[in-house]
Structure 1
Amino acid sequence: MKCSRPQWAFTLIRTAMAAAGTSACLAWALVAGTGYSQAGSAEQAPQSAGSPRLSVETLSGVEDAVDSRRAEQLASKIAELDSIVFEKQQLEGDLRTAKSELSAIELQLQNTKKLIRSEVDGFLGQSTDRKRLDDLLDEHKGSAESAATIAERVSALEKDLGSKHLKFSVATRDVERLKSQLAAEMRERNSRKIQAIARKLDKTIRFEQSVSFRCSASKSLSACLAEHRNDGQMSQWVLDNYQRALAADIRDQVADVTLDTAWYRYRTRTDFVQASMSLDGTVNAQMNIEATVTAKKMMPCAILDVSYEQCDSKMHSLIVRSNKYGDQVRINDQDYGATPVSLVLDGGIYEIQVTVGGTTQQRTLSLKADQVLNFKF
């Protein structure tokens, strides 16, 4: 059997490249299966479609809206998750390289085995010398030792990668839990603001307004005043005065109030308190206007720029008390301090814990109406 080195070397390289490609696809499947892509790591690894993009910058708007310890915890946990993803990507790259090397060395072993068989056949047939056979046996032994070493490295990398996958899953779960808690905290704060604002929206405002218009000089002043309509201007007058009055009332909840006429309804009553008419029919008058404004249900959410669902949901009062001093209340994994605790919450399921010393009592509450919970120790 004749086999020149350039030919089988070319076959070895081509087969090794194919094996490396298969390993790379398998490693990429592992990355895509995690459901997470590190922001800014596009040069290190392809990003799977639909993966959430988590980064500290994502929190900037949330931290501005809610000065919360939960937001800091979430930022720290996301940073930890980014670090795990980076380490996992490095391990996956090392694993791809090691598997490629293993495939190449295994292919080399197969080729050396074929050559050894050929040389043995030639040796037994007295067509070759012993030195050629010894060289091939030494080459095969070295390849076998390299294959064993690389196989051990692949096994160790797979073990490390499995451990990293576990850490990634735990960190991802913690991030989702913190995001949920932060969203609940924001929702509760918004709910309190909605309740505070809603009580101040319906109001009656009174203001004066000067008008000037043309009327037929043949008509009397009273007839001109009776015929005059302010429909085109009244909406803007009410908006300006209502916005000014409301901004003063809710400045504690909202720093800058900009209203839209679609957020409320109104009715007005006008009286002319002073009027004059010139010879050319120009009427100048002073009006007293009383406007009764009724807010629409979604108006508090529109002012706060939050989801309208919060204005549609039914809110209930929850009061938690106990018979001990120095207790601590925890609702849905969020601390509320010592009793009595008074909250306005959406209807739903709540896990309520009260701890005194080392003793904790817990109740699961389905909040469907205003309720008071008393804990006795």
Structure 2
Amino acid sequence: MEAGSSIFSRPQGSRGARAVLAAGAVGSLLMTLVMSTGYSQADSAPQAPQLAKLSAPDTLSTVAAPSESAADSPRAEQLAGKIAELDAILLEKQKLEDALRAEKSELAAVQLQLANSKKLIRLEVDDFLGQSAERKRLDELLDEHKRSAEAEKAIGERVEALEKDLGSQHLKFSLAARDVDRLKTQLAAEVRERNSKKIQAIARKLDKTIRFEQSVSFRCSASKSLAACLAEHRNDGQMSQWVLENYQRVLAEDIREQVAHVDLDTAWYRYRTRTDFAQASMSLDGTVNAQMNVEATITAKKMMPCAILDVPYEQCDSKTHSLIVRSNKYDDRVRINDQEHGATPVSLVLDSGVYDIQVTSGGITQKRTLSLKGDQVVNFKF
């Protein structure tokens, strides 16, 4: 709206109308006051004679007219008392009626004033909206409000759609995450089972007795005999490396189906050796050249299969057992913990634990839940 505008600065036509309304309101107030005053005078005037008449001695004398002595009777005293009581009640009633008329008159004046005030307010609003500049600004505000409301509705619809899509995506994500977790669990079980099989296959081939020949050359005192030099010779510093190289070569050949490349560490096993010399010679300067036969008995540590496969060591700590599944059918299929294992008989080496075994033949499936704590054979009969 225009700066500095006021509801008191308006065209002359509206001022005249407001003056007429204001004059009417004042006149109505004066008329109400006069009427209320007149009512109270007119209403109270006639009552005085009535009260006087009711309480006049003539009334009592008329009632007591039968005899002079009757005026002194108890009933006359009672009648006079009742009349006095009635006059008092009537006077109180008159006061209440006067007060009621005054309140009604004041209420009418206030209602009339309120109606005139509403008219004046309507004239002020009409006069305010009648100015073209103010109406244009109001129209602009209404248009802006309409545009804002439409934008709010559009954005709200987009937000609602996005929230709906987001909720759908959240549900999809939850389902997909659950599937991923389930697949991870199944994959981990598969990997663990596959590693367990490899561990068992490798573990059976780790303990070995290997034999190999090794050429040695060392210096000894020229004053000693060849036999004495050979008896005093110790190969402790080189023997560990000789055993490692030959053991790794032999083991790699034995477990090539389970492991493509074998790189052993001397900390993974223990060994004992026995040596003898196949041939030896000694030069004049004390240099001994000999061909040595070595027999090494190697005992693998419990964690060695896991170290070779590079899997967690706890898989090598767990106890494993043999499980054999059989049935009286030849066209059956075996599933253990949701993994296919072909037709019976099925022979597995598994860790201790609980296994769900299913055997299906001819469209019929039999199920058993087994707590594997030792070697066990399970038979299914259809």
Change (3 A) 1:200 1:136: same
Q: Within 5 Å, which residues of 2 pair with 1:144-293?
A: 144-293=149-298
Residue 326 of structure 1 aligns with an amino acid whose one-letter code is D
The alpha-carbon distance between structure 1 residues 274 and 358, as it changes in their structure 2 partners (threshold 3 A), is closer
For the pair shown, the structure with the greater C-alpha radius of gyration is 2
Using the alignment, how far apart are the partners of 1:182 and 1:174 within structure 2?
12
How many residue pairs get aligned? The number is: 261
Measure, in 2, the Cα distance between the counterparts of 1:307 and 1:129.
84
Cα separation, 1, equivalents of 2:223 and 2:269: 40
Amino acid at match of 1:243: Q
CA distance in 2 between counterparts of 1:122 and 1:319 reads: 103
Instruction: State the match for 1:297 in structure 2.
Output: 302
Within a 5 Å distance, the mapping from 1:70-85 to structure 2 comes to: none
Q: 1:288 to 1:163 in 2, by over 3 A?
A: same
Q: Match of 1:212, SS? A: strand
Q: Deviations over 1:247-290 (max 9, x none)?
A: 22222222222211111111111112322222221122222211
Structure 2 SS opposite 1:129: helix
Take 1:256 and 1:184, find their aligned partners in 2: how far apart are those partners? 24
Q: Classify the secondary structure of the residue corresponding to 1:265.
A: strand
Deviation for aligned residue 1:160: 1.4
Per-residue deviation, residues 23-51 of structure 1 (Å, max 9, x unmatched)? xxxxxxxxxxxxxxxxxxxxxxxxxxxxx
> For residue 159 of structure 2, what is the amino acid of its counterpart?
V
- In the alignment, the residues of structure 2 paired with residue 219 and residue 288 of structure 1 have an alpha-carbon distance, to the nearest angstrom, of 23
In 1, the alpha carbon distance for the partners of 2:277 and 2:333 equals 62
Aligned to 2:347: 342
Mark the CA change 1:333 to 1:122 in structure 2 (over 3 Å): closer, same or farther.
Answer: farther
The residue aligned with 1:367 is 372
Whole-Å Cα distance in 2 between the matches of residues 325 and 196 of structure 1?
27
How far the C-alpha of 1:125 sits from its partner, in A, is: 9.8
| Letter in structure 1 aligned against 2:158 | R
Instruction: Tell me the distance in 2 between the aligned counterparts of 1:327 and 1:123.
Output: 96
Partner residue in 1 for 2:87: none
Go from structure 1 to structure 2 and tell me whether the alpha carbon gap of 1:186 and 1:125 turns closer, same or farther (over 3 Å shift).
Answer: same
1:274 maps to amino acid:
Q
Shift of 1:139: 2.4
Q: Provide the rounded CA distance (Å) in 1 between the counterparts of 2:169 and 2:273.
A: 68
Shift of 1:166: 0.5
| 1:337 counterpart SS class | coil
The answer as to whether partners of 1:122 and 1:128 remain within 8 angstroms in 2 is no
TM-superposed deviation, 1:354 = 2.4
| TM-score computed with the length of structure 1 as normaliser | 0.64
Cα root mean square deviation, aligned: 2.3
Within 2, Cα distance between the matches of 1:359 and 1:122? 94
- TM-score normalized with structure 2 length: 0.63
Paired position in structure 2 for 1:330: 335
Q: 1:325 to 1:245 in 2, by over 3 A?
A: closer
Letter in 2 for 1:133: L
Alignment of 1:23-38 (within 5 A): none
Q: Report the Cα distance in structure 1 between the residues aligned to 2:336 and 2:128, rounded to whole angstroms.
A: 84
Structure-2 change in CA distance of 1:150 and 1:343 (3 Å): same
Could you tell me the percent identity over the aligned residues? 83
SS at match of 2:341: strand
Contact 2:323/2:376 (<8 A) preserved: yes
Query: Could you tell me which amino acid in structure 1 is paired with residue 264 of structure 2?
Result: L
Gaps in structure 1 of 5+ consecutive residues: 4-119
* Alpha-carbon distance in 2 for matches of 1:349, 1:121: 89
Question: CA–CA distance in 2 between the matches of 1:121 and 1:326?
Answer: 98
- Single out whichever of 161-170 and 216-225 deviates more from structure 2: 216-225
User: What residue is the counterpart of 1:56 in the other structure?
Assistant: none
Q: CA deviation at 1:367?
A: 1.5
1:372/1:283 CA distance change after superposition, 3 Å: same
Mean Cα displacement is larger for which, 352-361 or 232-241? 352-361
**Deviation at 1:127?**
9.7
- Which residue of 2 is the match for residue 68 of structure 1? none
Give the superposition deviation at 1:2: 7.2
Q: Secondary structure at the match of 1:254?
A: coil
